Amino acid sequence: MAKIPTKFLNFLLRKQSHTKKTNVLAFNFNGHIVEFGLKEFCFVTGLKCRKFPELNLGERKENGLKNVLFHHDDFITRRDIERTFKALRNKKDSLKQKLVNLYILESVFDSKQQHNHINLQHLDILDHEETFKDYPWGRLSYIITYQFLKKASYSDKNVVDLQGFPLALVYWAFETIPRLSNLDVGFGRKLEIEGLAIVI
């Protein structure tokens, strides 16, 4: 998993500018305003970002992820997911794959501190393969990321407790604002290899 460059993220937060647009982040670089919204987030991540569907998951499955691996525990953290995965022995591969998907979801796209509780509905969605594949995780991730970044922008402290997927903003900014490549912002530099931009 890529490490979030918090120094660069704090640099971007200090550049935030006011915008009347809803759920859009604006940044001011020497008088030049650039905007980052759902469209840009989904372009960078490649995640599905359409409107949330009406879910009809029915009753929780007896052989589903929640009942088999977490039993009656209604307060599950990312640390619990890690411990459960390490303890897996003679479990079906399908359950292991669901647990891996859950960990990626809660660690990358809906990231939070290890002690924070996850959304139990995510486990129910994982038990319905087609629903899980088609669910607009990108929209969910952007909403969480946007709320986190707006809250962080009003704080006088440096960002520490990351939420959502702020790495998408970092990559977008590095690609959108070329002059950042020449600044000491604690992130890296961009290489062009046969037309492919790579940040290292």
Tokens describing residue 133: 């594949």
Instruction: Show the 3-state SS of 176-189.
Output: HCHHHHHCCCCCCC
Cβ neighbourhood burial of 166 (10 Å; 0-12, 13-18, 19+) = buried
Residue spans of the domains in the chain: they are 6-49+138-199, 65-135
H/E stretch holding 175 reads: helix 167-176
What is the predicted pLDDT for the residue at 1?
Answer: 45
- 């929209």: which residue's tokens? 139
- 């992820």: which residue's tokens? 65
> 138, 45 in Cβ contact below 8 A?
yes
- 């929640």: which residue's tokens? 66
Between 193 and 157, the higher pLDDT residue: 157
pLDDT in tens, 143-165: 999 998 888 877 766 655 678 89
Name the phi and psi angles at 184, rounded to 5.
Answer: -85, 85
For residue 179, give every residue at least 6 positions away whose Cβ sits within 8 Å of its Cβ, in sequence order, or none. 29
> 106, 81 in Cβ contact below 8 A?
yes
pLDDT in tens, 99-148: 889 999 998 888 876 678 888 899 999 999 899 999 999 999 999 999 98
> 180, 173 in Cβ contact below 8 A?
yes
pTM score of the predicted model:
0.81
Around Cβ 13, how many Cβ atoms within 10 Å? 20
Which string of b and e fits 33-44 if b means at least 16 CB within 10 Å? ebebbeebbbeb
> 91, 109 in Cβ contact below 8 A?
no
